[in-house]
Amino acid sequence: MSEMAILRIYTEEETVSENKATRGWVTSVYSEISRALREARIENHTLFCHLTSIICSSNCLTTGLLSPSPEAVRKVLARNPVKKPTKSSN
């Protein structure tokens, strides 16, 4: 049920195209998946990327293709890492 709630939240946004996931959408879904699995003591970045790819591929049942692919998810995350707050030097 949690996974379906995540999918519904991100697919109902008006700014998200039906056929292509945005960078923000991929990052948000990855964040939710990784948080949930880390709570279950699962630390597998490859699994996180693959699950994100499946959830973000809205038309994979009809096309048989994951878009974005797990590799594309990895690249999006590498280009847009989660920024951690830095300490001020002042």
DSSP character string of 31-56: HHHHHHHHHTT---HHHHHHHHHHHH
Q: What is the pLDDT of residues 57-90, one digit of tens each?
A: 877 777 888 888 889 889 988 885 555 544 545 5
Position 16 scores a pLDDT of: 46
Tell me if the bond preceding 81 is cis, omega within 30° of 0.
no
Residue 5 reports pLDDT greater than 70: no
pTM exceeds 0.95 for this model: no
Would you state the pLDDT for residue 6? Answer: 61
For 58, what's the count of Cα atoms within 13 Å in the CB-facing half-sphere?
15
Residue 41 pLDDT more than 90? yes
